[in-house]
Structure 1
Amino acid sequence: MSFEQPQSLQAALSALDTHSFKVLAGGTDVFPSAPSGPMTQMILDVTRIDGLSGVTHKDGMTRIGAATTWTDIVQAQLPDAFLGLQAAAREVGSIQIQNAGTIAGNICNASPAADGVPALLALDARVEIASASRELRIVALSDFILGVRKTALAADELVTAVLIPDQPPGTGSAFEKLGGRRYLVISICMTAANILLDHQGRIARAWVSVGSCSAIAQRLHALETDMIGQHPENVQVTQAHLSPLSPIDDVRGSGAYRLDVVKEQCKRAIIKAAQR
């Protein structure tokens, strides 16, 4: 096994431009998925790269560095629109996993059950991608994850940050997750909602997304549209609203059960986000 630990972004990009590396940050996905026996892959550890972690804000955009851990996100001083993301961060594995696991690792692993993805979709998150040979590019998270364990990232590219545009003032946020137990659990289903109310307490804007109910977490655009002008407690979630989802039957639950739960999760997340 070859192991490299560059301390600059340029060095990391140069390495990716010349060799095929497995990128390592927290390692919470890389090591469990590794085959038994000695590792033969070339490993590129990006945790020492200056400027690749931390949460900053500039020019209407919150920038979360790729190597920022879930604990960093929980502890960051962020607007209420990020409460759903921070709640999701508290659901990622155990405290030890949250201390090591990173936001970019969560999206690059592209698991249908990635806890951070629904909350990021509800924030209209974008992915910042760098390479040695091409200009920096920014891709919507909804276009970045292409399928199970599949992303739009080329072999010579590295995710450098997750970018979140400023949300309208007053936006509240919530996250709901169901699993077989409280911690260290793959979700049966999960829902994130960001809600903005007008002065009469009616929904002015809405963002709702669901994970673990399809190969890729999905925004429920029809539900978001139909909610406008309603009081949160009056929102009705229909089967038509859930049509983008395609839940499977597995050991954690049936597809029909997941749809029933998501319908209730959506209501709870919407009301909770509106109360904030």
Structure 2
Amino acid sequence: MTRYAKPTELEQALALLGEGSWRILAGGTDFYPALGNRPLRENVLDINGLSALRGIAETDSHWSIGSRTTWTDLIGHELPPAFDALKQAAREVGSQQIQNVASIAGNLCNASPAADGAPALMVLGSEVELRSAASTRYLPLEAFILGNRRTALQPNEMVTAIRVPKAAATGRSAFVKLGARRYLVISIAMAAARFVIENGIVAEASIAVGSCSAVAVRLAGLESLLLGKSVRELPDIVRDASIDELSPIDDVRGTALYRRDAAREIVRRAMLSATGLDSAEVAAGMVA
């Protein structure tokens, strides 16, 4: 017989996780569609009563986004410009109705290669807070999402927050998504970029691409090429750089070759937006 529990205190939820196998229900926007016509045969731990897990807080060292925080919550919260890519990604998560209930942590735990939040959180150096009744541990987002629908979450753990170090919440960022239509679409490719520019020179560069590999990935090779360069050199560097970190596949939304070419273009667009370069100037040859 399956069990259903809806605790109102985090300690209660963690204790239940330590007693048996549970499937965690947060926003439910992925939970119910995944069931299809199948009967529910798992114990359900409904965490929608855990108010402590919803909201965004600032400390001396980091920003903390509670695991139940919705995309709408994020969009409405005042945050530094480095979070602009994450807010832009939030507006791409399904419909407004979905954004109102879907949780940010749920987007990560679902571990889809096309998870809209992953690239934008990666360029912020985000880490995932995992708690059990006995301990708390922190994993970089890249170490948490292991593959398609696979995470490092243990059976007795739940995600309680996503943390963004203050050191990475600097500069400006942008997010670009490519899909077959404008709204309610699974992406063909998407990119997030965060840059810190000092006196026209790149002091920090963080770039991540989603939907072009089993998990979203940072383009470490391209990032290193951009460091120390004048912003006006960036479009040419992006155009010529190899992006070997990507391993796109052929599917109904696009071929691997198309995805690779598209990824380069949307990386360029995200970079132009994050650095303040105007794409019209680039097209006119004013930036080289």
TM-score, scaled to structure 1: 0.96
1:204 alignment counterpart = 203
Deviation track 1:104-130 (CA, whole Å, cap 9, x = no partner) reads: 101100000000000000000000000
Query: In structure 1, what is the Cα distance between the partners aligned to 2:194 and 2:242?
Result: 17
Amino acid at match of 1:118: P
1:172 alignment counterpart = 172
1:38 positional shift: 2.6
Query: In structure 2, what is the Cα distance between the partners aligned to 1:239 and 1:263?
Result: 10
Amino acid at match of 1:152: A
The answer to whether 1:24 aligns with 2:25 is yes
Query: In structure 2, what is the Cα distance between the partners aligned to 1:186 and 1:45?
Result: 27
Query: In structure 2, what is the Cα distance between the partners aligned to 1:43 and 1:23?
Result: 6
Deviation track 1:69-118 (CA, whole Å, cap 9, x = no partner) reads: 00001111000000000000000000011001101101100000000000
* Matched residue count: 274
Deviation track 1:230-270 (CA, whole Å, cap 9, x = no partner) reads: 23342222575310100000000001001111111111111
1:181 alignment counterpart = 181
- Is the alpha carbon distance of 1:143 and 1:169 closer, same or farther for their aligned partners in structure 2, counting shifts above 3 Å? closer
1:110 alignment counterpart = 111
SS at match of 2:53: coil
SS at match of 2:238: coil
Query: In structure 1, what is the Cα distance between the partners aligned to 2:220 and 2:84?
Result: 21
- Is the alpha carbon distance of 1:17 and 1:92 closer, same or farther for their aligned partners in structure 2, counting shifts above 3 Å? same
Structure 2 residues without counterparts, runs of 5 or longer: 278-288
Structure 1 residues without counterparts, runs of 5 or longer: none
Query: In structure 2, what is the Cα distance between the partners aligned to 1:168 and 1:215?
Result: 25
In the alignment, is the contact (CA less than 8 A) between 2:249 and 2:255 conserved in 1? yes
SS at match of 1:33: helix
- Is the alpha carbon distance of 1:169 and 1:163 closer, same or farther for their aligned partners in structure 2, counting shifts above 3 Å? closer
Amino acid at match of 1:195: F
1:161 alignment counterpart = 161
Higher helix share: 2
TM-score, scaled to structure 2: 0.92
1:50 positional shift: 3.1
Query: In structure 1, what is the Cα distance between the partners aligned to 2:240 and 2:115?
Result: 24
1:35 positional shift: 4.0
Query: In structure 1, what is the Cα distance between the partners aligned to 2:9 and 2:129?
Result: 17
Displacement over 3 Å in runs of 4+: 167-170, 238-241
Deviation track 1:214-240 (CA, whole Å, cap 9, x = no partner) reads: 001000011111001223342222575
